[in-house]
Amino acid sequence: MEVRALTKNVRISPEKARHVSRLIQGKSVVEALAIVDLSPRKAARLLGDTLRSAVANAENNNDVNRARLMVKTVMVGPGPIIKRFQPRARGSAGRIRKRTSHLEVILTDIK
């Protein structure tokens, strides 16, 4: 049984979010929640919200205990890029790309 939660258009670059996603992949839910609560990164807070949503989906929809859940995969994909321009020297403009991410957490129960 797999349960998933998806958060779209999060204002963090996928490269930064993948650092935290590698830490919690393959861990139990209790351990993964402890990791994201103690990590000082913005990505940890955002992935923690998605992880809590997946746990709530499992508890409410499938009636599974939190202690029996494990993080199967955490996927961080690129979202739409917000494009801005910064004035530069001699009348030119420099492009600024504000990257966004789609976060997906898939949980499975421990057999």
Cβ atoms within 10 Å of 1's Cβ, excluding its own? 10
Task: Report residue 17 as tokens.
Answer: 């979010």
Residue 1: the pLDDT is 87
User: What predicted TM-score, i.e. pTM, was given to this entire model?
Assistant: 0.91
22 class by beta-carbon count within 10 Å (0-12 exposed, 13-18 middle, 19+ buried): exposed
Structural domain harbouring 74:
2-109
User: Domains in the chain: how many in total?
Assistant: 1
Residue 100: the pLDDT is 98
CATH number, domain of 37, equals 3.90.470.10
Phi, psi of 86 (to 5 degrees): -115, 125
Q: What is the mean pLDDT of each run of 10 residues along the chain (111 residues)?
A: 95 97 96 97 97 96 93 97 97 97 96 70
Residue 89: the pLDDT is 97
